[in-house]
Amino acid sequence: MKNDKFKETLIYILVFCSIIILSILLTSSYRKTTEPKVYYEVYLDGKVIGTVNSKEELDNYIDSKNEMYKNKLGVDRIYSPNGLSTQKVLTYNAEVSSVASIYAKIQNEKPFTISGYQFTIDSSSDTKNKQEQKEEIKTSKIKLYITESKIFDEAVESLFKTYVGTNEYQSYKEETQQQIVTTGTYINNVYVKDNITIKKVNIPVTEKIYNDSNELAQFLLFGENNKKSDYTVKSGDTIDTVAFANKISTEEFLISNPSFSSSKSLLFPGQKVVIGITDPQIQVVIEKSVVKDEVNKYTTIERYDSSRQVGDDEVIQKGENGLERISQIVEITNGNITYVKPISKTELKPATSKIIVYGKKQVSGVGSTRSWGWPTNSGYTISSNYGYRIDPFTRRRNLHTGIDISGTGYGSPIYATNNGTIITRTSHYSYGNYIIINHNNGYYTLYAHMSRFDNRVKVGSNVTRGQIIGYVGMTGSATGPHLHFEAWYGGAPYRGGTRLNPWTLYN
C-alpha cells in the first residue's frame, strides 16, 4: 500500500517537472523566433512624457487639432513645439500612450509652431567710428517673424516707394531715369543701411507673426505704436506750420499724406490731413546726384561817414542776387538729408553787393537789427530745418533747435552774421567745436560742428559781419560736414535766452 502511494507521488513529481521544462523550452524557442517592436519615446525639453506607436501619427494629430492657426496665419501645416523630440526604441513590451494624451500634455506646456523665417535687424553698426556720445543710443536688435521671406522683400519695396516716390522708384528700378542735362536729380542707389540676417526657424504660434506685407511695412515705418490722428486745417495753416504744431517733421507729414507733392502744396480751411508719428525700424538710404540752380544772395556792405548826421543814410549801390549752378551728391536716410558732398559750383550770374553809407560810424561790437549776413559760402543746401524730427543718432523724436547748412564743403569758411562779441569758444560732445556771439542788440547766434576755430577770434574779441570765425566740419553729433546755426534773443543760449527759428533773422 505504501509502495503504491510512493509510486503515485513520484509520478506527480515527474509530470510537474516535465511541464516546467517544456514551458521553459517553449518560451525560449518563442523569443528566438520573435523580433522586438519599434516604439517612439516622446521628450519635451529633455523629459520623457510618454511613448507612442508612430511619430508620424503624433505629428498628424498635432496638425489636425490646429486648424484655427492654419487659417489665421495662412499656412499649410502646424508643427510640434520647439524642444519636442522623439527617440526610436526597440522593446518586446511597452506601455503605449495615446496621441491624444501626449497632445494634452504638450498643449499645457509649450506653444505649437509653424515653419517660417526670423529676420534680425541690427542697426548697432551705425554707431561705429562715431565720436563718443553721452546720450543713449538706440541700438537694440529687432527680431521679426515672417511666414515667407518674400513678404519682407515686398514690405521693404513698399518703404522704398514711400521714401522715393512710386514713379521715381519704378524708373530707378527699371533703369529708365532721364540723365541730368542741365538741372535735375538722378537716383544712384536705394538700399537698407542696417545689417539684416535671415534664418529659417520653427516659430511659436504665440509670437507676432507677419503674413501680410502691408502690415509689415506699416510696422517698419511707424513701429509698434502706430499713432495716427486727423487734423482739420485752419485758416493760415501751411504744411510746415501744421507739422511743427504737431511735433512732426515736414517729411513725416508728406509720408502720411502722399497726395501732397511738396511742403509748398497749399492747404485750405476745413481740409482733413493725417498726422502720423513715424518710428522707422530700418534705415532706408537714397543716394542721388543733384544739379540745381540756386540764387546767390547779394551781400550788404555797410560804410560809415563821420561827416554825415546820424540817420543820414544812403544806398549808393543796389544789391542784386546772382545765380549759381551747383552739383552735389546727397544722401537721404528715412527722408532726412544726412550727408551732402559738393561736386562743383559754376557762376551763371555774379551777385552785386548792396552798399549802404550810414551817418556816423557805428559802435564796434554792436550788430545791426536791420540786416544779417549769411554764415557760409553760397552753394549750400539746408539739410535740416528748425523743427521736430527723428534724431539720426538717438533715433528719438526731438526739436531740432537750428538750421543745418550743408554742401559748402569740409573746411569751407564760417562767417559772423553780424557785428558782436565772442562770448563762448569751446567744445561740446553734441555741438562739437562751437562759438556763441553776443551781438549786443538783444540777439545771440551759435555756430556748431566746426572743424576748427579761426585763430584770430578769442573769447572777448569783437567781430564784424562777414568776418571768418571758423571752418565747416563734423565734430560732435554730425552725420556729415555742415554748420548747425542757432539764433537766440533776450539772453545767451541756455542762460536765460529764448530760442528763435533762425529764419526770423532774414524775414
Tell me the pLDDT tens digit for each residue of 99-109: 999 999 999 89
- First-to-last alpha carbon distance for the chain, in angstroms, is 145
DSSP structure class, residue 131: P
Q: Residue 331: its pLDDT value, please?
A: 97
User: 475 with 449: CB under 8 angstroms?
Assistant: yes
**pLDDT exceeds 50 at position 30:** no
User: 463 with 400: CB under 8 angstroms?
Assistant: no
Q: Is 494 left (phi over 0), alpha (psi -120 to 50) or beta?
A: left
**pLDDT exceeds 70 at position 116:** yes
Mean of per-residue pLDDT scores for the chain: 89
Question: Quick one: which of 417, 449, 455 has its CA closest to 434?
Answer: 449
The grid coordinates of residue 229 equal 490722428
- Average pLDDT (423-438) is 97
Question: Quick one: which of 193, 116, 129 has its CA closest to 160?
Answer: 193
Confidence of residue 32 (pLDDT cuts 50, 70, 90): very low
Confidence of residue 129 (pLDDT cuts 50, 70, 90): very low
- Give percent of the chain with pLDDT exceeding 90: 72
pTM above 0.75, yes or no: yes
Task: Dump pLDDT digits (tens) for 153-166.
Answer: 999 999 999 999 89
Task: Dump pLDDT digits (tens) for 38-69.
Answer: 899 999 999 999 999 999 999 999 999 999 99
Topology of domain 283-505 in CATH is Glucose Permease (Domain IIA) (2.70.70)
Q: How far apart are CA 175 and CA 154, in angstroms?
A: 19
pLDDT greater at residue 253 or residue 128: 253
All CATH 2.70.70.10 domain ranges in the chain, comma separated: 283-505
CA distances from 184 to 74, 181, 380 (A): 45, 8, 16
Q: How far apart are CA 9 and CA 21, in angstroms?
A: 19
Q: What is the CA radius of gyration of the chain?
A: 39
Q: Residue 302: its pLDDT value, please?
A: 86
Say if residue 134 is exposed, middle or buried (CB neighbours under 10 Å; 0-12, 13-18, 19+). exposed
Task: Dump pLDDT digits (tens) for 131-188.
Answer: 444 444 455 689 999 999 999 999 999 999 999 989 999 999 999 999 999 999 999 9
Confidence of residue 93 (pLDDT cuts 50, 70, 90): confident
Q: CA neighbours within 13 Å on the CB side: how many for 243?
A: 25
Confidence of residue 447 (pLDDT cuts 50, 70, 90): very high
Q: Residue 225: its pLDDT value, please?
A: 77
CA distances from 86 to 94, 107, 492 (A): 15, 16, 73
